[in-house]
């Protein structure tokens, strides 16, 4: 099957119609209406740019992390996952041996949602773009937040701070109070998911210092989690006992790659880069470390238990 010109990357599956290709996920048509196959690849993106290198096994780790939350922690939270593990093949034409060997380890069957056009971001500590682009520069933040003076990198907030953005190529910031007034139930829904996830993570020694989530509606009109949630690609993970106020922690998520890429750009054009072998290996190790601390088991043990 040829690759449509509009898609920049070779699809992970070559015998299904490709519906959409995101920065790191490929979405395919299934044989059952109202569903789709979502494959998490090993592509890595930062600053809305997909880089040249692959992070080996990242897609498996992200898929396992997402499933861990729904299967063992957030069991009552509505979401778009319909099938996972080897059950995905019930929704695909042909036999499993016609697909990549690890497809069931990095994919889900999802119900189609009418997605909300907003990213719901909550922060428990000062970091990321809020720190880098606004607070440390003394600039007013675009979210309309009245933050106290004297905060430093990794300073805890007295409450979770809500910093919503548009879901677009530019992720334009939105006013926090206005968004919460417009859709209080959705904001509270995502806030609770993050609070529960963070509390669980802290019990396992991981501080999930911020989180981005998206959602959408089924025909029933119920708001559901969509895309991904509480993984190392949409959150910042750090070992709680290694946090030092004012210092960069040893990140266990995509933040490590973000910072390496910025060093490589060195103030120049923001273009796709090729990561060093050392950076790739370190990144894989950090993703795995975060997963193991969070779940209390190895990736392989989780897969053998839940995805076989």
Contact by Cβ (8 Å): 207, 295: no
* Other beta carbons less than 10 A from residue 116's beta carbon: 17
Residues 197-207: tens digit of each pLDDT? 999 999 999 99
Tell me the average pLDDT of the chain: 95
- State how far the Cα of 89 lies from the Cα of 69, in Å rounded to an integer: 22
The pLDDT of residue 170 is: 75
At 16-53, the pLDDT tens digits run 999 999 999 999 999 999 999 999 999 999 999 999 99
pLDDT interval class at 218 (50, 70, 90): confident
Q: What is the pLDDT of residue 65?
A: 98
pLDDT digits (tens, 9 = 90+) for 246-264: 999 999 999 999 999 999 9
Residue extents of the structural domains in the chain: 118-215+235-277
Output the pLDDT for position 23. 94
The whole-model pTM stands at: 0.95
Long-range contacts of range 29-32, CB-CB < 8 Å, 24 or more positions apart?
30/91, 30/92, 30/109, 31/91, 31/92, 31/93, 32/91
Q: Please, are residues 235 and 253 in contact by the beta-carbon 8 Å criterion?
A: yes
For domain 118-215+235-277, give the CATH superfamily: ATP-grasp fold, B domain (3.30.470.20)
């Amino acid at each position: 099957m040829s690759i449509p010109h509009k898609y920049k990357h070779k699809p992970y599956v070559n015998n299904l119609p490709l519906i959409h290709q995101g920065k790191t996920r490929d979405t395919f048509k299934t044989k059952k209406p109202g569903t789709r196959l979502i494959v998490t690849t090993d592509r890595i993106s930062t600053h809305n740019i997909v880089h040249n290198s692959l992070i080996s096994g990242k897609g498996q780790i992200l898929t396992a992390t997402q499933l861990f939350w729904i299967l063992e922690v957030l069991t009552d939270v509505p979401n778009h996952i319909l099938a996972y593990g080897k059950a995905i093949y019930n929704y695909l034409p042909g036999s499993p041996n016609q697909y990549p060997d690890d497809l069931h380890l990095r994919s889900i069957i999802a119900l189609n949602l009418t997605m909300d056009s907003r990213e719901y971001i909550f922060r428990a500590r000062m970091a990321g773009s809020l720190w880098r682009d606004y607070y440390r520069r003394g600039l007013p933040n675009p979210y309309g937040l009245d933050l106290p003076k004297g905060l430093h990198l990794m300073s805890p907030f007295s409450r979770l701070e809500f910093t919503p953005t548009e879901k677009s190529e530019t992720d334009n910031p939105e006013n926090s109070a206005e968004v919460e007034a417009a859709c209080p139930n959705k904001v509270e829904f995502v806030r609770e998911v993050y609070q529960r996830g963070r509390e669980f993570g802290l019990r396992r020694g991981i501080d999930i210092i911020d989180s981005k989530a998206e959602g959408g509606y089924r025909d029933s009109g119920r708001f559901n989690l969509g895309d991904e949630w509480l993984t190392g690609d949409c959150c910042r993970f750090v070992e709680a006992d290694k946090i030092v106020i004012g210092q960069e922690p040893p990140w266990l998520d995509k933040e490590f790659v973000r910072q390496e890429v910025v060093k490589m750009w060195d103030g120049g054009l923001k273009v796709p880069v090729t990561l060093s072998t050392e950076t790739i290996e370190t990144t894989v190790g950090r993703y795995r470390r975060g997963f193991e601390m969070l779940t209390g088991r190895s990736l392989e043990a989780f897969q053998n238990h839940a995805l076989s």
